[in-house]
Amino acid sequence: MIVVFTGGDDLEEEEVSFEDYLGRNPSGLSQSKSLFDNRTKDEDKKTHQRKNLLTMVDQVMKSNGGRPYTNEIFQELQRTEKEFRDLKERIKVLESVENSNSELSQLMGKRQKEYEEKFKQMIQMVESKLTEANLILKQQLAEEKGARLVAEKDAQLTKVKFIFETDNLKKDLMKARADLDTLETDCEKKDLENERVTNEMDSLKKNLEKASAELAIAKEGCTIL
């Protein structure tokens, strides 16, 4: 049998060890007790506690020939059934004896009630064990589902953040390209403007040279006169 205790985090807060709480390792619990926390958020600690319990279950199954419990319950039922069969045999004997109807009826009623009571107790014990195992399984499934939902939520948030950052990078890249195109256009305009100014200056120089030549000719003509 494995005894599962809860409230391990309460013991930690009170600075009480598990062994002190149990009264210094009671007899019969040295290898069949497990302690679980109620409020811990430490996933590694939860995993360790679950693995520890499953290891104990495996050990119990190995020691019981691959079954999660011993044959005590069924042995008790078999013993009760044997008693009931013995009772039937005794009834047969009593039926052959005169004036045994009263004793037979009383004995049969008594044994029948005892058998029904023991059988009821066995059924309740089995149902209790199944209910306990079902609760533990549901708790484990709920914890695993919660952890999975958290992981999925984190993954979704990371995806949204990545998409948002990618959109921002695309916008920045498009703006940078637009700025570069504008700069190239401005440079082309400046090159054209510089070329125009250069041409005008060349034209002015030529006109100035022509005017200077004409002036020199005019001066020379005046001198001759």
- Evaluate whether residue 51 is within a structural domain: yes
Asked if residue 184 is part of any domain, the answer here is no
Q: Does residue 160 lie in a domain region?
A: no
Instruction: Give per-residue pLDDT as tens, 7-54.
Output: 888 888 888 887 777 765 455 455 577 888 888 888 888 888 888 888
Asked whether residue 82 is domain-assigned, the answer is no
| DSSP codes joined into one string, 83-151 | HHHHHHHHHHHHHTSTT-HHHHHHHHHHHHHHHHHHHHHHHHHHHHHHHHHHHHHHHHHHHHHHHHHHH
Q: For residue range 109-119, what is the model confidence (pLDDT) as tens digits?
A: 777 777 778 77
Residue range(s) defining the domain that contains residue 32: 1-68
In a domain, 60, yes or no: yes
Decide if 128 is inside a domain. no
- 22 within domain boundaries: yes
Q: How many domains does the chain have?
A: 1
User: Considering the domain boundaries, does residue 44 fall inside one?
Assistant: yes
